[in-house]
Amino acid sequence: MVHLSHISKQFGDLRVLKDISFHAPRGKTTVVIGPSGSGKSTLLRCINLLETPDAGEVRIANTAVSFDDQNAKSPFHRRLNRRREILTLRQHTGMVFQGFHLFPHKTILENVMEGPVQVLKQHPDTVRDMALSLLEKVELIDKKDCYPATLSGGQQQRAAIARALGMEPDVLLFDEPTSALDPELEREVLKVIRALVKENNTMIIVTHNLLFAKEIGDLVVFVDGGQIAATGTPVEIFGGHTTKRAGEFIAAMLPPMEYAI
Ligand SMILES: Nc1ncnc2c1ncn2[C@@H]1O[C@H](COP(=O)(O)OP(=O)(O)OP(=O)(O)O)[C@@H](O)[C@H]1O
Ligand SMILES: [Mg+2]
């Protein structure tokens, strides 16, 4: 479903992603873990092209965008085509950020309706029905006419998930969806994500919550120093059956009882 081939990204002199290739399968949950600053957010942002890779190719479903020719002399029409490709590819994705990023001046219902009406040009009446059923799903129907600032962090994050789902993306991307929340609010967001896992959505989730990663991941990707340092099932990764570095990271992050070699 999502294929990255030889993606590299540099900020100034800092090589943040070094020739990353990976595949997130359709209908599965791929969890990305790794130390702070290892490049996880940048990797996720390269998937929906919020960051432009310096090299490599991003493919989602049937849309591929290559960055290998961008240093060549680029005629105007090629740049225009790339812009179209980027927008098409981005429409395949829905992103949920650590900081929610809801529109503050719109109600929760309007937040969910905005993308389908403005971007996908769907009819507001149809979109309203769909948005209301999504708000039922994330247990926020009673908050539909409230503004984001009046909601708790957990409620805002559930609204952000409903908004992402409203675009009917092929893949849902989550960047640390619960790290701004205290444990009780985290639980209610994890419950919603768990339900999405059960529905076999295609998801890529960056998280520091290794217990959750272990529970819901079909595939775990360990990123270290801008490279994929290990990939495997939760049993392989959390059982210490991949690389020494992945084992060290997990041992340092998980309570001892959870780390079984
Ligand atoms: N726009 C930017 N400009 C310059 N440097 C950046 C930019 N974005 C990220 N970086 C740097 O790239 C490196 C990787 O950042 P990234 O946010 O991808 O890490 P991360 O693995 O998501 O970390 P964390 O777990 O703390 O969220 C860091 O050293 C960061 O400072
Ligand atoms: Mg990050």
What integer pLDDT is reported at residue 72 of this predicted model? 56
Block residue for tokens 């991949």: 242
* 223 in Cβ contact with 47 (< 8 Å): no
With a cut of 70, say whether residue 78 has pLDDT above it.
no
- List, for residues 87-128, the tens digit of each pLDDT value: 889 989 999 998 889 999 999 999 999 999 999 999 999 999
With a cut of 80, say whether residue 137 has pLDDT above it.
yes
Ligand 1: list residues with CB < 6 Å: 11, 14, 16, 34, 36-42
What integer pLDDT is reported at residue 256 of this predicted model? 56
Pull the structure tokens for residue 64. 């591929």
Residue 89 burial by CB count (10 A; 0-12/13-18/19+): exposed, middle or buried?
buried
Instruction: Give, using CA atoms, the residue closest to atom 12 of ligand 1.
Output: 16
| Mean confidence (pLDDT) of the chain | 91
**CA–CA gap between residue 158 and residue 230 (Å, rounded):** 31
Ligand 2 centroid – CA 133 distance (Å) = 31
* Residues linked to residue 96 through DSSP beta bridges, in sequence order: 174
Q: CA 165, 189, 24: angle at the middle one, nearest 5?
A: 55
What integer pLDDT is reported at residue 30 of this predicted model? 97
Between 1 and 204, whose confidence is greater?
Answer: 204
**CA–CA gap between residue 253 and residue 261 (Å, rounded):** 15
Block residue for tokens 């490599």: 56
With a cut of 50, say whether residue 261 has pLDDT above it.
no
Q: By percentage, how much of the chain surpasses pLDDT 90?
A: 75
Ligand nearest to the CA of 97: 2
Q: Which of 15, 41, 228 to mutate to test the pocket of ligand 1 (most atoms within 8 A of CB)?
A: 41
- List, for residues 184-214, the tens digit of each pLDDT value: 899 999 999 999 999 999 999 999 999 999 9
Instruction: Give, using CA atoms, the residue closest to atom 8 of ligand 1.
Output: 42
Q: Which of 8, 13, 14, 49 to mutate to test the pocket of ligand 1 (most atoms within 8 A of CB)?
A: 14
Ligand 2 centroid – CA 180 distance (Å) = 12
Residue whose C-alpha is closest to residue 30's, from 51, 57, 1, 60? 1
